[in-house]
């Protein structure tokens, strides 16, 4: 599990065109010793310019912004800063939008009425474990299963090994790479290799896609 080194808090940037909301997040995070807000932006373009000089660990990204919104910005972050974790912030809890943002690379999705503790936990969990799944994201991903998804294979035409199935189940249980490695008795690097192979085999482009594949094929049970 990745944790910030002592004296090195998790560096956070926020892109949101509402100054009052940014101020509220800044105030809430100021009391947390292991998190530091290092940059603020009004829109996606300003954020991308900041990222040329700064290296945050986690970005809080609003969907609706002028000039360049979150939907346009996220793929650019993924292309140039693949290791930065991105938490989407939105006024809306539309399932199709949540699924879309998770599939193109978001690590979590929160509504703007989330309390400060939830935002803090999302930052920490995304930094340490890559994803922060909540009731909102889980419901959205399950809703997405009702739509035909030709890019995702089915268990009938994909042969997953017993080890691949075990790793997939543990990933869906939100176990970290290190925890999976200890449970299955393999190295963390092997876990990452199996995850990449699972994506190739199933056609999933992200962890969200793998969760959808697992639920669709009864590998894990719907809640």
Per residue in 133-179, pLDDT (tens digit) is 777 776 676 666 555 454 545 444 577 888 888 888 888 777 788 88
**186 and 77 together in one domain:** no
222 domain-assigned: no
Concatenated DSSP letters of 141-190:
HHHHTTS--TTS--TTT----HHHHHHHHHHHTT--HHHHHHHHTS-HHH
**29 and 136 together in one domain:** yes
Identify the domain boundary among 109, 143, 177. Answer: 143
Could you tell me the CATH number of the domain that includes residue 36?
3.40.50.2300
**110 and 25 together in one domain:** yes
pLDDT band of residue 219 (cuts 50, 70, 90) is: confident
Identify the domain boundary among 120, 143, 166. Answer: 143
Q: Determine which of 88-92, 106-110, 154-158 has the lowest per-residue pLDDT on average.
A: 154-158
Q: Quote the mean pLDDT of the chain.
A: 83
Q: Is the pTM of this model over 0.75?
A: no
pLDDT band of residue 222 (cuts 50, 70, 90) is: very low
Domain that holds residue 102: 10-143
**131 and 182 together in one domain:** no
Could you tell me the CATH number of the domain that includes residue 185?
1.10.10.10
**62 and 165 together in one domain:** no
**110 and 164 together in one domain:** no
- The proportion of the chain whose per-residue pLDDT surpasses 90, expressed as a percent, equals 32
- The proportion of the chain whose per-residue pLDDT surpasses 70, expressed as a percent, equals 86
Q: Is the pLDDT of residue 91 over 90?
A: no
**53 and 112 together in one domain:** yes
Please tell me the predicted confidence (pLDDT) of residue 7.
Answer: 58
**83 and 178 together in one domain:** no
Please provide residue 51's backbone torsions phi and psi, each rounded to the nearest 5 degrees: -70, -15
177 domain-assigned: yes
Identify the domain boundary among 121, 143, 165. Answer: 143
How many domains does one find in the chain? 2
Q: Point out which residues pair with 62 in neighbouring strands.
A: 89
Residue 50 exposed, middle or buried by CB count within 10 Å (0-12, 13-18, 19+):
middle
Please tell me the predicted confidence (pLDDT) of residue 150.
Answer: 45
Q: Is the pLDDT of residue 56 over 60?
A: yes
**117 and 184 together in one domain:** no
Please tell me the predicted confidence (pLDDT) of residue 76.
Answer: 93
Q: 157-194: buried (b, 16+ CB within 10 Å) or exposed (e) per residue?
A: eeebeeebeebbebbbeebbbebbbeebeeeeebbeeb
**117 and 203 together in one domain:** no
Model pLDDT for residues 110-144, shown as the tens digit of each residue: 888 888 899 999 999 899 878 887 777 766 766 66
CA angle 181, 79, 52 (to 5 degrees): 110
**27 and 132 together in one domain:** yes
């Amino acid at each position: 599990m990745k944790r910030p080194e002592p004296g090195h808090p998790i560096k956070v940037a926020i892109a949101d065109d509402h100054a009052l909301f940014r101020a509220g997040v800044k105030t809430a995070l100021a009391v947390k010793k292991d998190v530091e807000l290092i940059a603020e932006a009004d829109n996606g373009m300003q954020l991308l310019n900041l990222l040329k000089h700064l290296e945050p660990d986690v970005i809080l990204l609003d969907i609706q912004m002028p000039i360049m919104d979150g939907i346009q910005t996220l793929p650019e972050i993924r292309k140039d800063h693949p290791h930065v974790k991105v938490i989407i912030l939105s006024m809306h809890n539309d399932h199709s939008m949540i699924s879309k943002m998770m599939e193109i690379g978001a690590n979590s999705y929160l509504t703007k009425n989330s309390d400060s503790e939830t935002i803090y936990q999302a930052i920490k969990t995304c930094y340490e474990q890559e994803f922060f799944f909540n009731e909102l994201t889980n419901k959205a991903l399950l809703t997405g299963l009702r739509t035909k998804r030709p890019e995702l294979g089915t268990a009938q035409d994909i042969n997953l090994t017993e080890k691949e199935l075990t790793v997939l189940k543990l990933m869906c249980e939100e176990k970290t790479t290190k925890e999976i490695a200890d449970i299955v008795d393999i190295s963390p690097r092997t876990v990452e290799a199996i995850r990449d192979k699972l994506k190739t085999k199933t056609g999933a482009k992200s962890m969200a896609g793998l969760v959808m594949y697992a639920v669709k094929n009864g590998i894990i049970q719907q809640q």
